[in-house]
């Protein structure tokens, strides 16, 4: 919350010093909309608002992934690094009410406690505390939106449905410690498990990410979103 307030204060200060003015973005102006998101919308989204949780870092409830012959549980998983992502493009089509939102993240880090059970549920549970850094993640978000008008006649953007296609373009670097040992463990066994579970884990995280975005857009008016600062 303090980060969001600081960012708004900084923009106002820059606006006053350099004589910047607000330029309204039309729905079809992809360049203006993309610049608006880069300048002030994306930082505000990451920091959160009253009633809207921050997205940096992104927390998720304990989740269970069923792999062949293995039960793979993530406890208190946290995905961080969104603040260093580059917002590539925002494209809105007001005719068929579709959107495309592309984000490139040079580094995302997943921290979690992993509980791995091989075979049936009576097998002993192996516990690891791991940090996995993903290099060069590309997030392709697409879907449909509508305009919502509140009781005062104020318009908002509302996401009605979406899909996210996360693509890892670089490496996944694992650093793990067994709960019963102090030495680091980067063996191929854990790497193989993470490779298998990653699509399902990231799908759950991207769902959480987009739900945060839906809540954010439901709370901020179009007037406060669709503008950029120009000289």
Beta bridge partners of residue 121, listed in sequence order = none
pLDDT of residue 129: 86
Pairing of strands 21-24, 155-168: unpaired
Pairing of strands 125-149, 155-168: antiparallel
CA 171 remoteness from chain centre: 19
Across 14-18, 61-65, 221-225, least confident range:
14-18
Distance, in Å, from the CA atom of 58 to the CA atom of 201, rounded to the nearest integer, reads 13
Which domain range does residue 125 map to?
2-230
115 φ, ψ (degrees, to nearest 5): -115, 120
- pLDDT single digits (tens) 80-125: 999 999 999 999 998 999 999 999 999 999 999 888 887 766 677 8
Average pLDDT over residues 23-34: 93
Contact 149, 155 (CB under 8 A): yes
For residue 149, what is the domain's CATH number? 3.15.10.30
Distance, in Å, from the CA atom of 104 to the CA atom of 199, rounded to the nearest integer, reads 17
Distance, in Å, from the CA atom of 178 to the CA atom of 47, rounded to the nearest integer, reads 33
The tally of domains found in the chain comes to 1
Among the listed residues 221, 223, 227, 212, the one whose alpha carbon sits nearest the alpha carbon of residue 48 = 212
């Amino acid at each position: 919350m303090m980060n969001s307030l600081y960012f708004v204060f900084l923009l106002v200060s820059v606006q006053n010093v350099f004589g910047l003015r607000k330029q309204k973005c039309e729905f079809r102006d992809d360049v203006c909309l993309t610049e608006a998101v880069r300048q002030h919308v994306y930082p505000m989204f990451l920091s959160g608002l009253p009633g809207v949780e921050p997205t940096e870092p992104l927390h998720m409830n304990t989740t269970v992934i069923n792999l062949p012959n293995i039960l793979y549980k993530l406890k208190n998983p946290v995905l961080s690094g969104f603040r260093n992502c580059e917002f590539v493009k925002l494209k809105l089509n007001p005719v068929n009410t579709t959107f495309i939102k592309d984000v490139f993240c040079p580094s995302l880090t997943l921290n979690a406690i992993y509980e791995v059970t091989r075979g049936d549920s009576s097998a002993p549970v192996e516990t690891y505390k791991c940090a996995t850094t993903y290099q060069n993640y590309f997030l392709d978000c697409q879907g449909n939106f509508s305009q919502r008008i509140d009781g005062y006649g104020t318009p908002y953007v509302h996401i009605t449905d979406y899909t996210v296609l996360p693509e890892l373009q670089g490496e996944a670097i694992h650093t793990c410690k067994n709960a019963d040992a102090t030495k680091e463990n980067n063996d191929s066994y854990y790497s193989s498990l993470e490779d298998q579970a990653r699509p399902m884990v990231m799908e759950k995280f991207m769902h959480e990410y987009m739900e945060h975005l839906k809540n954010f857009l439901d709370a901020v008016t179009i007037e406060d979103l669709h503008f950029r600062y120009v000289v």
